[in-house]
Structure 1
């Protein structure tokens, strides 16, 4: 697993360096860090959850490249509840019909709470923006992913398998009076080979802008993997830092 993590990190660094080398002066760069968590101290025990994500975006008129790393770690009464890491590279090509684009994705995941030892998702598809304004964005996308996974289907059974998935996503972003942001991303990824194998991921974020680079942020996330019979729900709040350059 450590080798896979190092490989993914190297892929992200190389992609970022390549993007910087290939894009010209009209390219926009966007760096975002979300640091959030929850904590509870009670006579019955202590619990805490840390949720951190770093995203780097490179965009020009015809293409964009994004690199993301996220890590969720939590404990309850001294026992680990979450140790979930994700690294992803994705790109968009804006050369289709108006308000539509092609996308490609490579994503590595490992998750204690969802019983995923290693998972690699890679694929491509097309997306269409129903709303496409700076303060109102609504987008739907669909595509095919190849899934190579090493999972625990029970406490004593470990399985390595592969499948193809349809990946359907609904995403929106709204800004209210330049002060409040509402974001959501929702994925349904059923296997094309097994009817009882699907992945559900949904996130919802609410932000309150403090300055041009700082916002107070709260987020809700729900994830379910039917093959491992595991799911998690994460509710966190914290800070969002972002910089355009």
Structure 2
């Protein structure tokens, strides 16, 4: 699995080097969000921290996206979350930028979902149903190959691979350049086992304090049928973003 991570970083570095040679029409986007929650009572203590990073390079007909997130939480000194996710994807657009092809490589490790290691890679197509400066609605679908190392019933090892159909709904709505509502929602079902389903949703509401600084409340939900595990994270904090 470490070889896959190294390969993913190598591809990212090569891609960044190539895209950096583009003309002035190339633009960059950098985003960092730090959200969490703290609960302190006489009966116990709990906290949750969620850090997320995203970087995008975009030109007229191609874009490269890199993202990573890390969630850590404890309740009464017992770890509840130690969840890492990293992804690299690219989009190739047609002339009107409505229809595009995408490719994805993704790595996950999660205490709360009992994922020791999981790698996904695949290709697909997408379509921008709405694409305006203040509103975006995007649908995409494709096939992923997955190699996973999981724990069933917390202690039983489960190493397997499968092909999945991956369907995504992504949206962003900016209201009066002050309020931002956005989210990405995935449904990934195994092509060989109908009961093997992954659900991933991440939705947020942000209030712009400055052009680069936002106050954010976010809801994230993950469900993995194979391990019979799920998590629901409700957090609040700040988001910093910059186009350049």
Instruction: Give TM-score scaled by structure 1 length.
Output: 0.95
Distance in 1 (CA, whole Å) between partners of 2:101 and 2:10 is 21
Q: Relative to structure 1, is the Cα distance of residues 31 and 114 closer, same or farther in structure 2, using a 3 angstrom cutoff?
A: same
Distance in 2 (CA, whole Å) between partners of 1:79 and 1:8 is 34
> Are the counterparts in 1 of residues 30 and 241 from structure 2 also a CA contact under 8 Å?
yes
CA shift, 1:16, in A, is 5.6
CA shift, 1:19, in A, is 4.2
Secondary structure in 1 matching 2:20: helix
Matched residue, 1:85: 84
Q: Relative to structure 1, is the Cα distance of residues 223 and 72 closer, same or farther in structure 2, using a 3 angstrom cutoff?
A: same
Q: Which has the higher mean CA deviation after the structures are superposed, 151-160 or 234-243?
A: 151-160
Q: Relative to structure 1, is the Cα distance of residues 8 and 208 closer, same or farther in structure 2, using a 3 angstrom cutoff?
A: farther
Q: Which has the higher mean CA deviation after the structures are superposed, 64-73 or 8-17?
A: 8-17
CA deviation map 1:98-133 (0-9, x unaligned): 511111100000000000000000001111111110
> Are the counterparts in 2 of residues 16 and 67 from structure 1 also a CA contact under 8 Å?
no
Q: Size of the alignment, in residue pairs?
A: 244
> Are the counterparts in 2 of residues 8 and 87 from structure 1 also a CA contact under 8 Å?
no
> Are the counterparts in 2 of residues 34 and 54 from structure 1 also a CA contact under 8 Å?
yes
Q: Relative to structure 1, is the Cα distance of residues 59 and 99 closer, same or farther in structure 2, using a 3 angstrom cutoff?
A: same
Distance in 1 (CA, whole Å) between partners of 2:103 and 2:4 is 20
RMSD over equivalenced CA pairs, Å: 1.7
Distance in 1 (CA, whole Å) between partners of 2:82 and 2:8 is 17
Instruction: Give TM-score scaled by structure 2 length.
Output: 0.95
> Are the counterparts in 1 of residues 221 and 233 from structure 2 also a CA contact under 8 Å?
yes
Distance in 2 (CA, whole Å) between partners of 1:213 and 1:166 is 36
Matched residue, 2:242: 243
- Trace 1:88-127 onto structure 2 (pairs within 5 A): 88-95=87-94, 99-127=98-126
Matched residue, 1:137: 136
CA shift, 1:38, in A, is 0.4
Matched residue, 1:211: 210
Q: Which runs of 5+ in 1 are unaligned?
A: none
Is 1:195 equivalent to 2:176 in the alignment? no
CA deviation map 1:160-192 (0-9, x unaligned): 100000001111100000000000111000000
Distance in 2 (CA, whole Å) between partners of 1:40 and 1:177 is 34
> Are the counterparts in 2 of residues 8 and 108 from structure 1 also a CA contact under 8 Å?
no
Q: Which runs of 5+ in 2 are unaligned?
A: none
Distance in 2 (CA, whole Å) between partners of 1:112 and 1:11 is 27
Matched residue, 1:55: 54
Distance in 1 (CA, whole Å) between partners of 2:95 and 2:113 is 36
Secondary structure in 2 matching 1:125: strand
> Are the counterparts in 1 of residues 12 and 88 from structure 2 also a CA contact under 8 Å?
no
Q: Relative to structure 1, is the Cα distance of residues 232 and 5 closer, same or farther in structure 2, using a 3 angstrom cutoff?
A: farther
Distance in 1 (CA, whole Å) between partners of 2:36 and 2:50 is 5
> Are the counterparts in 1 of residues 8 and 88 from structure 2 also a CA contact under 8 Å?
no
CA shift, 1:212, in A, is 1.0
Matched residue, 1:233: 232
